[in-house]
Amino acid sequence: MKDQIQGIIQKYNNDKTRLMDMLIDIQDEVGCVCGDAVQQIASAVGLSFVDVEQTLSFYHFFSTEPRGKYTVYLNNSAVAIMMGRNKIVKAFEEEAGCKINSVTEDGMIGLFDTSCIGMNDQEPAAIINNVIFTKLTTKKVTRIVSDMKAGKPIEEIRGNDFGDGANSHELVQSVVRNNIKKKGPVLEEGYETGTIIHDYLTKHKPEEIIEVIKKSNMRGRGGAGFPTGLKWDFCRKAKGDQKYIFCNADEGEPGTFKDRVILMEKPGLLFEGMVVAAYSVGASKGLLYLRHEYKYMAVYLNKVLDDMRKDNLLGENIGGIEGFDFDIRIQLGAGAYVCGEESALIESAEGKRGEPRDRPPFPVQVGYLDKPTSVNNVETLCLAVKVLKNGPEWFVNQGTKDSTGSKILSISGDCKEPGVYEVTWGFTVNDVLHMVEAEEVQAVQVGGPSGALIGPNEFDRVLCYADLSTGGSIMIFDESRDVLQHVVKNFMDFFIEESCGSCSTCRIIPVLMRDKMNKLLNGHGTSQDIKDLENWAKPLRFSRCGLGQTAGNPILTSIKNHRHLWERQVNKDVDYDTGFDLHAAIQDASDAVGRIPVAH
């Protein structure tokens, strides 16, 4: 094993910034990363044992103990549970003979929870040894476990009923379906990769391209909505001998899966968008940060990159532009929602824990390896190509005043037609519900757990940055759902699980809020508890990154828009005594230090 690990370390030139790749390969090939492996890596790359261990312990898909010859990851997102996930877990447990988050005694099968895997439109789904299984039934589980016990290769267990589009490509062979229901500028057919490089980049200066993107008023499609042209301008003007273009393909917001479809169907367009960004800011290196859950695409995406190199769309003097050199590599993540935050993503790409950095300085000034780095979303980079192709006026003429152009939505939950829809900003929630044929809708979660849970009285609200902004996730819950128990609590558990733990606010307050919520759900709540929840969420806005800043949103927006559900939890017939007397509780401590408790 020592030689095997040495080979992996050498494959990455003993480079400590490639620690993620080393750990991913060791996890895959050896089955876990034990203490000896940690020591071996640390010695070889010049890090301390603790440096390596802290990266190892940060990500969901790394483990110090073997997780089974077959490792089954079952996601526990709200929509997965709605679609029958718990029944599937039970079936796996019974057939395999072990509980979730454990491994069978013979070490053959491990069952583990994980956060949303980007398959909300085809749940219940699982990842087994990096292969995706969708629309699981108890019957399918019986067969899968039987095949695992027989030691069959995972590809044979998966079968050959491949999904549509590139999912059936020989380098992918996945059962995942695209479920594209409405196409727009990104997903439409007919664009040949390289057109803009040849027809536009060769004729325009970088500054001119940035001006066109600025004129389009395009804002980043990842959720934060920062103006793309401005970001590129900052990066171009930042001092640095080396600049980087990063594509953030770490779509971990529960309910989002549109980047998965773009990556599969339009990788050439995406990589060309990275070339355009590189030309604009003066970068020579690019990195696609691909979430671990989408590892099944990596070989295919690398083939697309190879083809582009052969066509002189990557490499040296791209498109015949003298001195314009740029290339892209793929960096896999290892399961951490917070890495969707751009500075956390950069930390992760450097081989560290994915903890967001303090800002300023911003990544466009001090980013990857301390060099100026522009981090852009998958959809943003694709749209940049189309803005150059069709002109900024074309883009401005779509959408709303502050939200120009198109937006791809990932729609899931209680509706007849879940899937991917490319619409223009300005759609109302009612338009969305009509489009996907949803009926008797009780609530809609717009923008994932960090967004807003709205009720029918707000379904005329508009999808745009000025009203309901969204990175693309829309989840629908009909009247049959227990929204507090199955949605809001699930989202709070998600934030608690995914907090990196750096800020005391984000580390502590969501736990207290979740516990208070449980008290209410268990019938012990008072109306004061609802007020407490509203007040306790306030300090969260002082957290360092968006995760902590929005971690109270599931509770806050549901109290705001579904107050009756919360008030229903309060037993108004009983003058409920919480039984807790703060004065009495601290009396001993006060006596010990000789202080009189302050009256309240």
Q: Which residues bind ligand SF4 (CB under 6 A)?
A: 338, 355-356, 499-503, 506-507, 543-545, 547-548
DSSP letter at 118 equals S
Minimum distance, C-beta of residue 503 to ligand SF4, in the bound complex (Å)? 3
Residue type, 449: P
Please spell the DSSP secondary structure of 292-323, one letter per residue.
Answer: GGGGGGHHHHHHHHHHHHHTTSSBSSGGG-TT
Residue whose structure tokens are 């095949």: 147
Classify the phi-psi angles of 171: left when phi > 0, otherwise alpha if psi is within -120 to 50, otherwise beta.
alpha
Minimum distance, C-beta of residue 266 to ligand SF4, in the bound complex (Å)? 31
Could you tell me what percentage of the chain is helix, strand and coil, using 3-state DSSP and rounding each to the nearest 5?
45, 15, 40
Of the candidates 539, 472, 458, which has an alpha carbon nearest to the alpha carbon of residue 120? 472
Minimum distance, C-beta of residue 381 to ligand SF4, in the bound complex (Å)? 25
Residue nearest to ligand SF4 (CB): 548
Q: Which helix (H) or strand (E) holds 103?
A: strand 102-103
Minimum distance, C-beta of residue 498 to ligand SF4, in the bound complex (Å)? 7
Dihedral over alpha carbons 59, 64, 68, 69 (to 10 degrees):
90
Taking CA 215 as the corner, what is the angle to CA 223 and CA 243, rounded to the nearest 5 degrees?
Answer: 65
Minimum distance, C-beta of residue 504 to ligand SF4, in the bound complex (Å)? 8
Of the candidates 164, 132, 128, 163, which has an alpha carbon nearest to the alpha carbon of residue 147? 128
Minimum distance, C-beta of residue 342 to ligand SF4, in the bound complex (Å)? 12
Q: Which is nearer to ligand SF4, 304 or 509 (CB)?
A: 509
CB 363 within 8 A of CB 346: yes
Minimum distance, C-beta of residue 561 to ligand SF4, in the bound complex (Å)? 24
Q: Which is nearer to ligand SF4, 181 or 507 (CB)?
A: 507
Q: Which is nearer to ligand SF4, 464 or 556 (CB)?
A: 556
Q: Which is nearer to ligand SF4, 484 or 545 (CB)?
A: 545
Minimum distance, C-beta of residue 539 to ligand SF4, in the bound complex (Å)? 11
Q: Which is nearer to ligand SF4, 219 or 357 (CB)?
A: 357
Q: Which is nearer to ligand SF4, 57 or 317 (CB)?
A: 57
Of the candidates 523, 525, 530, which has an alpha carbon nearest to the alpha carbon of residue 559? 530
Of the candidates 309, 357, 352, which has an alpha carbon nearest to the alpha carbon of residue 329? 309
Minimum distance, C-beta of residue 546 to ligand SF4, in the bound complex (Å)? 7
Q: Which is nearer to ligand SF4, 231 or 544 (CB)?
A: 544
* Residues linked to residue 331 through DSSP beta bridges, in sequence order: 289
Q: Which is nearer to ligand SF4, 185 or 552 (CB)?
A: 552
Q: Which is nearer to ligand SF4, 114 or 502 (CB)?
A: 502
CB 293 within 8 A of CB 259: no
Collect all residues with Cβ–Cβ distance below 8 Å to 212 and sequence separation of at least 6: 229, 387, 388, 391, 392
Q: What is the 3-state secondary structure (H, E, C) of 338-397?
A: HHHCHHHHHHHHCCCCCCCCCCCCCCCCCCHHHCCEEEEEHHHHHHHHHHHHHCHHHHHC
Minimum distance, C-beta of residue 163 to ligand SF4, in the bound complex (Å)? 33
**What token pair was written down for 120?**
């909300």
Q: What is the torsional sign of CA 171, 177, 183, 185?
A: negative
Q: Which is nearer to ligand SF4, 500 or 533 (CB)?
A: 500
Minimum distance, C-beta of residue 350 to ligand SF4, in the bound complex (Å)? 16
Q: Which is nearer to ligand SF4, 216 or 499 (CB)?
A: 499
